[in-house]
Structure formats: C-alpha cells, structure tokens
Amino acid sequence: MAKKRQLDAKRIVVKVGTSTLIHPNGKVNFHAIDQLCYVLTGLVNDGKQVVLVSSGAIGVGMGQVGLHERPESIPAQQALAAIGQSGLMSVYQQRFSLYGQRIGQILLTHDVLEYPLSRQNALNTFNSLLEWGVIPIVNENDTVAVDEMDHHTKFGDNDQLSAIVSSIVDADLLVMLSDIDGFFDKNPHKYADAKLFERITKIDETTLEAAGGKGSKFGTGGMMTKLKAAKRMLENDKMMILANGQDPAIIFELIKGEPLGTLFVKEEK
C-alpha cells in the first residue's frame, strides 16, 4: 500500500474540466458542482486559500440554447460563452451561498498578463480576494479570446491557464481534475494493462512518449496540455496533482495526502 504524501499547501489552485461539470448529454451536473462547492468551502474553512479555474461556459451555453454539438463558427462559440459564463456563475453563486462561501469572478486574456502593470493589477485582485477568504473563479474571457477556441493557443486552454494562474499567485499546489485517474504509461482507454504513475519528478522524452507524442489527444482535454501545465509547475518548484474529477470530494483525500492520482513534484515534499 502506497504511503501518504507529505503536502504542505496553503494556497491551492483547483482546475475542473467540462467533463466534471457537464453530463455527456449536455446537461449541467449539479451534483458535481454542489460537491465541488462543498469541498472548496471546507478548504477555506480549514484556513486554505483557494482559486478555482473552471471550464464549462460554452458547454452550459450549449445546454441553454439546446445545441448538442459545439458549433465551428467562432462568433457562435463566443455567443455561447457569453450565455454560458453568466449561467455557470449563477449556479456557482447559488451553490456556494448554501455553504456561506463568497466568490468573485476573474476573466482573463493572455495580453493582460503580458504587461507588467496589468499583471500586477490582476495579482493585487487575487491577493485581496484570497485575504478576504473569497474564492476567485477564473476562466479565459472566451468572448474576446478567439485563439483559445480556435486551438491556436493564447493561454492554450484552461490546463495552461490554471498553471499560469498558479504561477501568478505563487500557489503551492495545483489540483487538476480530469476524466482520467492520473498519468499512465499508455492510454488506459485502450490498454487494460496500463500502469498509473503515482509520482512524476520530471517531464522528459519518456514522459512525453507515454502521453502519445506531441499534439496527441489523451482523454477529453488532451494529456499533452496537462503535461505542459505540470512542467510549468515543476519549473517553479511547485506541485501538481492530476486526478479523476468524477467525484470532486476526492479533493479532500488529495489534500490529506492520500496516494490518489499522479503527483508531479521535483522532490519529496
């Protein structure tokens, strides 16, 4: 039996993907969102500072207008993001309020973080919210950040955004919830004997090869983007855990050091 991990994390960024928040039929997964809000409130009550990077705006927008497939048109995607972002925040506001937790919304574009003054202003906002015990909920401003939806990368996607936000706020730990149990030596969706790595200490050619090579897709979000996020965290001497977000209550277990998912860390913490 694997031993518990020693995690000393005061400031934590949690990233949730669309697969956690939206059912396969396109409906909002209210149970998962409720669990997520309950867990993150519990972390704040325990003295942690928490930032939530949340996908799902376009998915929520599709559900609200009755679309079953994501449109290819950029203007249509932007319109869905505008509809879905407000809808998603309404759900978060309602659920978090049940537990007495305050939230704030931060929508970012890459250029905001490229300029020192606006980057500092963003950091000041994060710090103020966290000091007040408020959970910032972050997403890319999809209504204007076209490159992210067209897959030519500004932030790249919310995996990259979560790592960048972690760097900005100097988070100790990034918890990335996905539709897969962690990082495997090969695709577990195809190979029954795929082995889960409990710990990864560096991102090298062997690691990239296990992810399927450059530009491959692995799971819903693509494993390569998650490795890039992990690489950024390791370069900053910070930690990242990749785990299955089907039940967001897993966050409690991860923070307690239970050996679930894959821990990316330079050395024993």
List the helix and strand counts (H, then E) for the chain. Answer: 11, 8
100 is in an annotated binding site: no
- On whether 178 is known to bind a ligand per the annotation, the reply is yes
Do 209 and 184 form a contact (C-beta atoms < 8 A)?
no
- For 22-78, the pLDDT digits (tens) are 888 888 899 999 999 999 999 999 999 999 999 888 888 998 898 888 888 888 988
pTM beyond 0.85: the answer is: yes
Residue 135 has pLDDT above 90, yes or no: yes
Q: Is 61 annotated as a binding residue?
A: no
Per-residue pLDDT band at 268 (split at 50, 70, 90): low
Residue type for 129, please?
L
125 a known binding residue?
no
Give the amino acid at 175. Answer: V
Residue at 194: amino acid letter: A
84 annotated ligand-binding residue: no
241 pairs with which residues across the strands? 175, 263
Spatial contact of 199 and 263, defined as CB atoms under 8 Å apart = yes
Residue count (the chain): 269
Q: In what order do the strands lie in the sheet containing 103-108? A: 103-108, 135-140, 49-54, 11-16, 173-178, 239-244, 262-264, 199-200
Higher pLDDT, 29 or 151: 29
Asked if residue 153 lies in contact with residue 147, where contact means CB atoms within 8 angstroms, the answer is yes
Mean pLDDT of 238-254: 95
DSSP 184: B
Q: How far is CA 121 from CA 20, 161, 193, in A?
A: 31, 17, 48
The pLDDT value recorded for residue 27 is 84
3-class SS of residue 55: coil
User: Within 10 A of 45 (CB to CB), how many other CB atoms are there?
Assistant: 12
The share of the chain scoring above pLDDT 70, in percent, equals: 90
220 annotated as belonging to a binding site for a ligand: yes
> The tokens of 21 are what?
């928040």
222: annotated binding-site residue? yes
Domain boundaries, the chain: 11-264
226 is in an annotated binding site: yes
Tens of pLDDT, residues 75-103 = 898 899 899 999 999 999 999 999 999 99
Is 156 assigned a ligand-binding role in the annotation? no
Would you place residue 190 in the very low, low, confident or very high pLDDT band (cuts 50, 70, 90)? Answer: confident
Domain 11-264 superfamily per CATH: Acetylglutamate kinase-like (3.40.1160.10)
